[in-house]
C-alpha cells in the first residue's frame, strides 16, 4: 500500500485526483500506476488501468495471473471490469468509495454468466461475503 500511496501523491502533484495502484507478484512489482486523466487527457487513464497495462507489458501477455492489485481507492466499474478481464485474483483497496459502491451494488457483473467468478465475487462482496481485502 505504501507504493500505491506514493503513486497517489505523484498523481496529485500532476494535478490529478490522488489515486495510486500497484500490481505485485510475490516480492516483485509488475506494474505501477497513478491517475493520469488530466495529464494524458484520457478518461480511461485510471491508476488501476495504467498499472494493468504496465503489468501486461512486463510479462508480454494480457492475463495478469497470480497477482494482487493494490489500489488506494475502491475501483470504479470500469476498473472493476478491467481487473476481472485481466484475471487478477486478489484485490486490496485502501478506502471505500461511496460512489463506486453505489454503482457496483447494481453491477451487471454480479448476475452475468459470461463473467468470471472473481467478478461475481467482487460485486457480490459489497453486500454479502467480502472478497476484497483491506490492509491492516
Ligand atoms: Zn477506475
Q: What single DSSP character describes residue 90?
A: E
pLDDT number for residue 60: 75
Q: How far is the centre of ligand 1, averaged over its atoms, from the C-alpha of 113 (Å)?
A: 23
pTM beyond 0.85: the answer is no
Residues around ligand 1, an ion, CB closer than 5 A: 46, 76, 79
Per the annotation, the verdict on 54 as an active-site residue is: no
For residue 37, CA distances in Å to 9, 33, 94, 106 come to 15, 12, 20, 25
Q: What is the pLDDT of residue 105?
A: 59
pLDDT tens across 104-121, in order? 555 555 555 544 555 555
Check: CB of residue 13 under 8 Å from CB of residue 25. no
127 vs 112: CA distance, rounded Å: 17
Q: Say if residues 18 and 72 touch (Cβ distance below 8 Å).
A: yes
58-103 pLDDT per residue, tens: 877 777 778 999 999 989 889 988 998 888 888 898 888 877 765 5
Percent above pLDDT 90 for the chain: 45
Measured in angstroms, how far is the CA atom of residue 111 from the centroid of ligand 1? 21
CA gap 25, 82 in Å, rounded: 18
Amino acid at each position: 500500500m505504501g507504493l500505491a500511496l506514493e503513486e497517489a501523491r505523484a498523481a496529485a502533484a500532476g494535478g490529478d485526483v490522488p489515486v495510486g495502484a500497484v500490481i505485485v507478484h510475490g516480492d516483485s512489482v509488475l506494474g505501477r500506476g497513478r491517475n493520469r486523466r488530466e495529464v494524458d487527457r484520457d478518461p480511461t487513464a485510471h491508476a488501476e488501468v495504467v498499472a494493468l497495462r504496465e503489468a501486461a507489458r512486463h510479462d508480454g501477455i494480457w492475463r495478469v495471473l497470480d497477482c494482487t492489485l493494490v489500489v488506494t481507492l475502491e475501483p470504479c466499474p470500469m476498473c472493476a471490469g478491467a481487473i476481472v478481464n485481466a484475471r487478477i485474483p486478489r484485490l486490496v483497496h485502501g478506502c471505500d468509495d461511496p460512489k463506486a459502491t453505489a454503482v457496483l451494488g447494481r453491477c451487471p457483473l454480479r448476475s452475468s454468466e459470461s463473467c468470471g467468478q472473481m467478478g461475481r465475487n467482487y460485486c457480490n462482496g459489497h453486500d454479502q461475503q467480502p472478497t476484497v481485502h483491506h490492509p491492516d
